[in-house]
Amino acid sequence: MISVRHLKKTYTTPNGETVQVLKDVSCDISKGEVISIIGPSGTGKSTFLRALNLLDPPTGGEILVDGENILQKNYPMNRLRQRMGMVFQSFNLFDHLTILQNVTLGPIKLLGMNKQDAENEAMHLLRKVGMAEKASVMPSSLSGGQKQRVAIARCLAMHPEIILFDEPTSALDPTMVGEVLSVIRQLAKEGMTMLIVTHEMKFARDVSTRIFFMNKGIIYEDGTPEQIFDHPLRKDTQAFIRRIRSLRLEVNGADYDIYGFFTEIDLFCAKYALYDKCDSIKHVVEEMLATLLSLEERPLFIELAFSELDYSLALTFMVTGLFVSPLNRELADPIAVSIIQGVTKSINEEKMPNGYRLTFSL
């Protein structure tokens, strides 16, 4: 159905550097496959999805859909977008339209359906995702999980041949992850072809026919869920799989919820019996966010990873747009630094193409 050959994507940063985000991605996707894409942050998973449906066209390589190269100049873009649906982390519903209108807009405007048929079908799809009773309300009155289910119904209304999901549950409150994953599971049962970028490892394992482990701009390893999760062949996959008892926190600006983070850290520690580490983790998170990183140094990802093999616990901060260590620069608050040093075993600082990664062992 889709053949990707030597796909490349390069960006030029504002200061003129070129960053090759997709180095050489090749794969074949057949009808009915459910492929989960896993891998560390910043390895090009979103870029890959966006290149596939030409939201952000690749800079090299080929994408063949049913044997036709979609990168040729006059390929009908609308038709392609209709065939490849996309569901985003942030829902992207139209806030000024009702739920029903959100779902019927595409079919009426782009598929030329009449209003009545579009509404009948939209109601059918909303029922399927459990959202029919909200058909006449505005998106702002829905929870995140409900919005995402509507976004899936809206996508289905275009009769796509494949759906690309980019971290569909990452922006959700943990209590709402399940309802969205259930809808995706149902689609998988019905034979929908899907490509799903996710950090939900248990879900990926249950639902997928294949797993792609993306790492540093390539599909570093691919295989069945059993191969990738139980017997990964390559070194980086093994390291990633071992680390996946992990918690990810995302900070997108000044108004992060530190108490919400603390609750998630408490839950994580309770789950893996890491009671003695809990306070140390919170100290590092608090000092980093409140004292050592400035506003411009957000957004950032925080990942807490626990390995049961050697009981090691790593707390990683991936900070975009930071090029010196926040612990060593002049404005670093020495008290905050010494608190962090006091509760960590070691600190690893790594310069990345687009920022800085600090990993604290606890």
Q: Does 36 bind Mg ion (CB under 5 A)?
A: no
Which DSSP string corresponds to 264-330? HHHHHHHHTT-GGGHHHHHHHHHHIIIIIS-GGG-SEEEEEEEETTTTEEEEEEEEET--S-TTTST
Neighbours of 76 (CB within 10 A): 10
Q: One symbol per residue from 40 to 59: x for binding Mg ion (CB under 5 A), - otherwise; what is it?
A: ------x-------------
**Subset of 41-60 contacting ligand ADP (CB under 6 A):** 41-47
Q: Which listed option, ligand ADP, Mg ion, none, makes contact with residue 47 (CB within 5 to 8 Å by class)?
A: ligand ADP
With CB under 5 A as the contact rule, which of the stretches 16-24, 38-46, 51-59, 157-165 interacts with Mg ion?
A: 38-46
Pairing between strand 34-38 and 193-197?
parallel
What is the distance between the alpha carbons of residues 257 and 261, in angstroms, rounded to a whole number?
6
Question: Which of ligand ADP, Mg ion, none lies near 19, with the C-beta cut-off 5 to 8 A by kind?
Answer: ligand ADP
Please report, as residue ranges, which positions from 321 to 360 form the binding site for ligand ADP (by CB under 6 A): 354
Judged by beta carbon, residue 46 or residue 208, the one nearer Mg ion is: 46
Binding ligand ADP (rule: CB under 6 A), the pick from 10, 19, 31, 57 is 19
Q: Which is nearer to ligand ADP, 21 or 314 (CB)?
A: 21
Question: How many residues interact with ligand ADP (rule CB under 6 A)?
Answer: 12
Closest distance to ligand ADP from the beta carbon of 218 (Å): 12
Which token pair is 158?
Answer: 């275009």
Which window, 35-43, 63-71, 277-285, 307-315, contacts ligand ADP (CB under 6 A)? Answer: 35-43
Is there a contact between 188 and 34 (Cβ–Cβ < 8 Å)?
A: yes
Measured CA to CA, the distance from residue 352 to residue 325 in angstroms comes to: 12
Query: From its phi and psi, is residue 304 left (phi > 0), alpha (psi between -120 and 50) or beta?
Result: beta
Cα dihedral 240, 243, 248, 254, rounded to 10, equals: -90
Residues interacting with ligand ADP, by CB under 6 A? 11, 13, 19, 21, 41-47, 354
